[in-house]
Amino acid sequence: MMHPEIEKAETVERYVRNELLPAERQAFEEHFLGCDECFEKVQTAERFSAGMRDAAERGLLEPPSRSQMTNSGWFGWAFAATACFGLVVAILFGWAYFGLIPRLRGELSQAVAEKQAEASAQQAAPSEHAEANVPLVMLQASRAREETARVVLKPADQRLVLWIEPGASRYRDFHVDVFSDNRLLTSVEHLALNGYGAVAASLPTKQLPAGDFRITLTGQDPPPVALVGEYHLEVQRP
Residues 127-177 pLDDT 10s: 456 778 889 999 876 554 557 899 999 999 999 999 998 877 889 999 999
Q: Is residue 219 part of a domain?
A: yes
Last residue of one domain, picked from the residues 68, 101, 134:
101
d(CA 72, CA 69): 8
Specify whether 12 is located in the same domain as 91.
Answer: yes
* Polymer length in residues for the chain: 238
Q: Is residue 133 part of a domain?
A: yes
Domain containing residue 187: CATH number: 2.60.40.10
Last residue of one domain, picked from the residues 50, 67, 101:
101
Q: Is residue 194 part of a domain?
A: yes
Number of Cα atoms under 13 Å in the Cβ half of residue 39: 18
Q: Cα 145 to chain center, whole Å? A: 20
Q: CB–CB of 46/71 below 8 Å?
A: no
pLDDT of 87: 56
Specify whether 93 is located in the same domain as 142.
Answer: no
Q: CB–CB of 185/207 below 8 Å?
A: yes
Whether pLDDT at 52 is above 50: yes
**Average pLDDT along the chain:** 76
Q: Is residue 191 part of a domain?
A: yes
Range of the domain at 95: 3-101
pLDDT of 101: 52
Q: Is residue 51 part of a domain?
A: yes
Whether pLDDT at 188 is above 70: yes
pLDDT category, 83, cuts 50, 70, 90? low
Of 210, 215, 230, 214, nearest to 151 (Cα)? 210
Specify whether 84 is located in the same domain as 117.
Answer: no
Specify whether 74 is located in the same domain as 139.
Answer: no
Specify whether 126 is located in the same domain as 222.
Answer: yes
**Percentage of the chain exceeding pLDDT 90:** 31
pLDDT of 82: 53
Whether pLDDT at 213 is above 50: yes
Specify whether 232 is located in the same domain as 134.
Answer: yes
Specify whether 134 is located in the same domain as 95.
Answer: no
The distance in angstroms from the start CA to the end CA of the chain is: 44
What is the number of domains present in the chain?
2
Specify whether 153 is located in the same domain as 174.
Answer: yes
Specify whether 217 is located in the same domain as 159.
Answer: yes
- The strand pairing partners of 159, in sequence order, are 204
Cis peptide bond N-terminal to 155, omega within 30: no
Apex CA 202: angle with CA 130 and CA 209, to 5°?
100
Q: Is residue 178 part of a domain?
A: yes
Predicted TM-score (pTM) of this structure:
0.50
Q: Is residue 155 part of a domain?
A: yes
Mean pLDDT, residues 64-85: 48
Q: Is residue 106 part of a domain?
A: no
Specify whether 50 is located in the same domain as 78.
Answer: yes
Whether pLDDT at 98 is above 70: no
- Assign residue 74 a region (left: φ > 0; alpha: ψ between -120 and 50; beta: otherwise): alpha
Specify whether 229 is located in the same domain as 131.
Answer: yes
Specify whether 123 is located in the same domain as 217.
Answer: yes
Q: CB–CB of 22/124 below 8 Å?
A: no
Whether pLDDT at 73 is above 70: no
Last residue of one domain, picked from the residues 52, 70, 101:
101
